[in-house]
Amino acid sequence: MPPAGGVTLGAGQRENFGQMENFAKSFVVPLLAKRRWTRVCEIGARLGGITELLAMFPSIALTVIDPCLDCDLKEKFAGNPHVTVKKGISLKVLPELHNAFDCILIDGDHNWYTVYHELKVISDRDLLKRGGIVFLHDVEWPWGRRDMYYQPEMIPSEYRHSWEQKGVVRGRRELTDRGGFCPAYCKATCEGGARNGVLTAIEDFLREHKDEYKFFRVRGDFGLGIMYHRKNFREDLKFLTVECQGVAYNVFTWPKRFTKVHFPSAFSLAKSLFGRA
């Protein structure tokens, strides 16, 4: 989902949106080819970059849910009969769907209320097949433990934290008046605590659905959550290959993550010298 009101994206914000595409290429697309999934749902498409990747598979019926504030996705994919664009916010569109999906990508509104209730609707309406997988972006800093609101007025007051339009600094619970990450966005004034952030929403949902799902986190690039809907012993074993791929990704990208967090100046210099790090 794009920022409300046409907020201009800084370099950090553009990077955030691009990382899910990298995860899609590394994890989602290979699984689509291997498992021959036929029904996929994408929540939060923005400019349709990931949609284009998924639409390359002619065997897939792709449902896209997005308010289309940044791009007219219906017009963009009008010529592709395999892509259906549902214009609107996820919590209004999901209850109107009926058929289950093999795979669901969630990269929409990054706050507890939205993510928790997206998962709850998906579960209550059986929108994810047994053996299916949900991929969720932004399960690590900065939105893993801190709500971000594209449109605060859309979140019920009892679930909405006090918020400000200030920057986020890694390792600091409070917001900053000077710079920081994503200063233009509305976000919870403090990090952590109950009902705060994407990862907290996932954990709360899983706590209520014990033994129904397996969950794994891929580190770095704002984090990717992989939630598998358990089916049977054979399919559960297949998911181990996805977990092993995630472990390998975490191990091989650890030097990059460590440098980026602890030596940001050196990371930025290396990125400028050698291209995208």
Locate 47 and state its tokens.
Answer: 């400019």
Q: Is 92 exposed, middle or buried (0-12, 13-18, 19+ CB in 10 A)?
A: exposed
Residue 194 has pLDDT above 80, yes or no: yes
What pLDDT is stored for residue 253 in this prediction?
A: 85
Give every CB contact of residue 53 below 8 A, 6+ residues apart in sequence: 21, 24, 25, 28, 29
AA letter at 160:
R
Taking the model in full, what pTM does it have? 0.88
Decide if 206 is inside a domain: yes
Decide if 164 is inside a domain: no
176 backbone dihedrals φ, ψ, rounded to 5°: -120, 145
Name the pLDDT band for 252 (thresholds 50, 70, 90): confident
* Contact predicate 21/50, CB 8 Å: yes
How many distinct structural domains can be found in the chain? Answer: 1
AA letter at 185:
Y
Decide if 40 is inside a domain: yes
What pLDDT is stored for residue 4 in this prediction?
A: 39
Q: Tell me the residue range of the domain where 130 lies.
A: 4-148+193-274
Residue 41 has pLDDT above 50, yes or no: yes
Stretch among 15-24, 122-131, 154-163, 242-251 having the lowest mean pLDDT: 15-24
Decide if 179 is inside a domain: no
Q: What percent of the chain has pLDDT over 90?
A: 79
* Closest to 32 measured CA to CA, from 135, 138, 115, 136: 135
Residue 17 has pLDDT above 60, yes or no: no
pLDDT, the chain, mean: 89
What pLDDT is stored for residue 269 in this prediction?
A: 59
Decide if 32 is inside a domain: yes
Decide if 243 is inside a domain: yes
Summarize pLDDT for 49-72 with one digit per residue, the tens.
Answer: 999 999 999 999 999 999 999 899
Give every CB contact of residue 11 below 8 A, 6+ residues apart in sequence: none
Decide if 90 is inside a domain: yes
What pLDDT is stored for residue 10 in this prediction?
A: 44
What pLDDT is stored for residue 215 in this prediction?
A: 97
Of residues 274 and 191, the one with the higher pLDDT is: 191
Decide if 68 is inside a domain: yes
Sign of the Cα pseudo-torsion (225, 108, 43, 201, in order) = positive
| CATH number reported for the structural domain that contains residue 58 in this entry | 3.40.50.150
Q: What is the side-by-side order of every strand in the sheet holding 163-164?
A: 148-149, 186-188, 163-164
What pLDDT is stored for residue 14 in this prediction?
A: 44
What pLDDT is stored for residue 234 in this prediction?
A: 87
